[in-house]
Structure 1
């Protein structure tokens, strides 16, 4: 069936789609927040050359960075119940939302681990030697000297990865999660006006990305407030 293009449907659909924005943001915030924490931990075996763990982490990061997020989503959704089922645990009825969180957390963890590894190695080792010379422990040196500088270096890439993850959340509907994209698909089925719904979705995602970009730029300027101000005053 052919349908005439109806511009009014674009604006009518936006409020309906926005009512599911919180699901999209929950996926993003949880997966990025947990991924940041786990990313630091996963980076440690490669930074400190811990036997066996280093090899496991290397394979994990390589696999995640070398496969599409959609395939990872299906592997977790269909594969995780099989794996835990071997131990007598049944999660086949678990809400698909949690499979999405697990998938995106695993993906973000791998990406953030590499970002942190590169940022940490960029910190001058002379500062670590100076920290030890004044009696700081390795842990104190890490969280007081190394990590603050490494986080500042990694932040622009963390911001880009987070925005990319926001756009990737649009795939969550493929396993039945009713986020904005999932709601959009139901509207397409009900109205048979796909192009108008997709335009509405593109507008929403674009505006959200712009808001995130401006927010991240403000945070970056704050993190670099003690550096040369002229560089960040523009």
Structure 2
């Protein structure tokens, strides 16, 4: 193995980190905005609310992300009214196609993760919130979602890390993130071994940093004082009084 080529390739491929992170965090933010309301709908006992969300998550989780990306990037451009609409301004750009595909796919997984957390919230906490006069929206925002997020944080961290690695698929639609730069460099040097090892090391480094960040966040949240079942009404009364 050529160590010098490995080191120079690592430096070169590091130029793709900003695009990789941009795709990751933009998709993460968009997916979070989509998934939170969908998770409450999915957890609802009303079937007319939960079944459409179940269909969405089933389809998006049951088909490969690469296929979804190709449908958006290649397939939608074949539809005449889309090409003549304002949507084509975004859909003709590979970045926006990747962002849409990653966001929708990530939202499907995140919806199911949050749904599990929402359904695990103890009924007593909800009853205590209702007893102090909180509205349904206040209960969801101040009680249910914070508790659910804390309980599913490890699973959500795994989804974020998976999304970082999934951004490598952006190279299939010409984006030069880490994997895209790797493929370009291999075509120039004919040295795939060293170059793809360098790419793997960069993804490993990003995963290590994100894992550490989530561990610190989890430790901080777990270190926060939690209201016990009996004093729960008192704690909730104080929150409602302050609001």
Q: Tell me whether the two structures share a fold, i.e. TM-score over 0.5.
A: yes
Which residue does the alignment assign to 1:91?
88
Equivalent position SS for 1:54: helix
**Deviation above 6 Å: which 4+ runs of structure 1?**
none
CA-CA distance at 1:133 after TM superposition: 1.0
C-alpha separation between the residues in 2 aligned to 1:80 and 1:165?
23
Aligned counterpart in structure 2 of residue 71 of structure 1, from 40, 56, 67? 67
Aligned counterpart in structure 2 of residue 17 of structure 1, from 7, 13, 16? 13
Consecutive unaligned residues of structure 2, counting only runs of 5 or more, are: 227-243
Cα displacement string for residues 119-146 of structure 1 (whole angstroms, at most 9, x for unaligned residues): 0110011111111111110111111111
Root-mean-square deviation over aligned CA pairs: 1.9
C-alpha separation between the residues in 2 aligned to 1:184 and 1:37?
32
Between the two proteins, the alignment pairs up a number of residues equal to 224
Aligned counterpart in structure 2 of residue 36 of structure 1, from 32, 38, 41? 32
CA-CA distance at 1:63 after TM superposition: 1.0
- Single out whichever of 78-87 and 35-44 deviates more from structure 2: 78-87
Structure with more helix by fraction: 2
Which residue does the alignment assign to 1:114?
112
CA-CA distance at 1:51 after TM superposition: 4.7
Which residue does the alignment assign to 1:181?
179
1:44-55 counterparts in 2 under 5 A? 44-55=40-51
Cα displacement string for residues 72-107 of structure 1 (whole angstroms, at most 9, x for unaligned residues): 111111223345735841628722011000000001
Which residue does the alignment assign to 1:232?
none
Question: When the two structures are superposed, what TM-score results if normalisation uses the length of structure 2?
Answer: 0.86
Which residue does the alignment assign to 1:151?
149
C-alpha separation between the residues in 2 aligned to 1:152 and 1:166?
22
Cα displacement string for residues 2-58 of structure 1 (whole angstroms, at most 9, x for unaligned residues): xxx422101011111111210000000011111112111112222224454432211
Consecutive unaligned residues of structure 1, counting only runs of 5 or more, are: 229-234
Question: When the two structures are superposed, what TM-score results if normalisation uses the length of structure 1?
Answer: 0.90
